[in-house]
Amino acid sequence: MIDLRSDTITRPTQKMREAMFQAEVGDDVYGEDPTINKLEMLAAKMLGKEAALFVTSGTQGNQIAVLTHCRQGDEIILDEDSHIVFYEGGAISAFAGVQPRTIKTEGGFMDPLKLKEAIRANDIHFPDTSLICLENTHNRGGGVAIPPSHMAELYHVAKEHNIPIHLDGARLFNSAVALGEPLTAFTQYTTTVQVCLSKGLGAPVGSILAGSKEFIDKARKWRKRLGGGLRQAGVLGAAGIIALNEMVERLAEDHQNAKKLATGLNKHPLLSVVNHVDTNIVLIDISETGMHSSQFIDKLKSQDILAVPFGPTTVRFTTHYDLNMEQIEQAIDRILSLKF
C-alpha cells in the first residue's frame, strides 16, 4: 500500500523508539519531567519565544491558544478555509465561546486591507476583536508556504490595533525548509505559535505551543483544565526532541517527492494539479474523469494507493518520510495507467 493520505501516518523512527525507551521521566504536572522540560526549552529557542508547552495535538494547541488569548463573546479573525474553522469540530465556539469572523483568502494569503477592515471599532454594539489566527503552511491552500514578508504586512496591521496573532504552524517546518528561512523569520511576526511534532517530523504524538512566559503560564492552566496535563510524558517528549533536532532538514526530500508526483500526475489527460506544490501536498482536480472524489479514492485503493478527498472533485496527496522516491514513481505509474 502506498499511503499518501497524510504526513501524520508516519511511524516513529528506530532512533525515536530507542530514545523513548531510554527517556528520563518524572511527573510533568509537577514540572518534574526532565525530558519534557528539555523539549520545551529546545522548542522555545527554535521558535524564538520565551517559553513553550508540550500539548497532546495541534488541535489542542490551537484551542489552548484561543482560550488563553480570548474571553467569551470576543471575535477572532481567521481564514474561512483555516484548519481551526474547517477541521476542529467547532471547538472555538464549543470551548472558548468566541465568534469567528472569517475572511476569504487567496490560497492562504490574507489581504492586509481586508484584515484591517475586519477589525472591530470600539463600539458597545460590537464584539471585541481579540485575536487574529494565521496558518503556515496553508493546508487547504495546498501546503502553501507563506513567506515572512507577507506575514510582516499582517503583523503591522495587528500591531497598529494591538491585537495578538496566533500562528497555526502545524507544518511551519515545511515552510521554513521550502523557503530556506529560519523558523524565527516567521515567528517574529506572531505572538504565539503552534507547531506539530507528529506530522512531517515523525514523532508519534504531540505539538508545541510557544509564546511569552506569561502566556505559557496561563496556557498551562488551560491545558490542565482540558485534561491535557500528562504525567510521565517524557516518553513522548523524547521522540519530539529527535523530531526537532534531526527531522527538519529532510523535509526537502518530501517536497522533491511531491513535485515529482505532481509532474507525473499532470501527464494523465484527465487529471490536473491545481496547487503550486511548494511543500509536501499535491492537490488534483479530477472533474474530467466524471467521478466524485470518493469514487476516485476507491479506484486508487484498488491499485493499493491511498489519498484523501478534499472537495467534490479535488483529491489530496501528501508525501512523508515513510515513502521513498521509488514508491512515488510506482504511484505515478499506477495512476497514469488508470482508465476512466
Quote the cell numbers at residue 25: 521521566
Quote the cell numbers at residue 301: 485503493
Q: What is the DSSP string of 70-119?
A: --TT-EEEEETTSHHHHSSTTHIIIII-PEEEEE--BTTB--HHHHHHHS
- Count of residues that interact with ligand PLP, criterion CB under 6 A: 13
The CB-of-124 to ligand PLP minimum distance in angstroms stands at 34
Residue 243 in contact with ligand PLP, rule: CB under 6 A: no
Choice from 196, 236, 282, 315 touching ligand PLP (CB under 6 A): 196
The CB-of-137 to ligand PLP minimum distance in angstroms stands at 7
CA dihedral 325, 287, 300, 204 (to 10 degrees): 60
Question: Which CB, 166 or 260, lies closer to ligand PLP?
Answer: 166
Strand ranges in the chain using DSSP code E only, listed in sequence order: 2-3, 51-55, 75-79, 99-103, 129-135, 165-169, 192-196, 207-211, 272-273, 281-285, 305-306, 308-311, 314-318
x-or-dash string of contact with ligand PLP, 70-109, rule CB under 6 A = -------------x--------------------------
- Return d(Cα 89, Cα 79) in angstroms, integer: 16
Question: Which CB, 148 or 264, lies closer to ligand PLP?
Answer: 148
Candidate ranges 73-81, 164-172, 215-223, 331-339; the one touching ligand PLP (CB under 6 A):
164-172
Residue 63 in contact with ligand PLP, rule: CB under 6 A: no
Residue 316 in contact with ligand PLP, rule: CB under 6 A: no
Q: Give the 3-state secondary structure of residue 286.
A: coil
Residues that bind ligand PLP (CB under 6 A): 57-59, 62, 83, 135, 139, 168, 170-171, 196, 198, 207
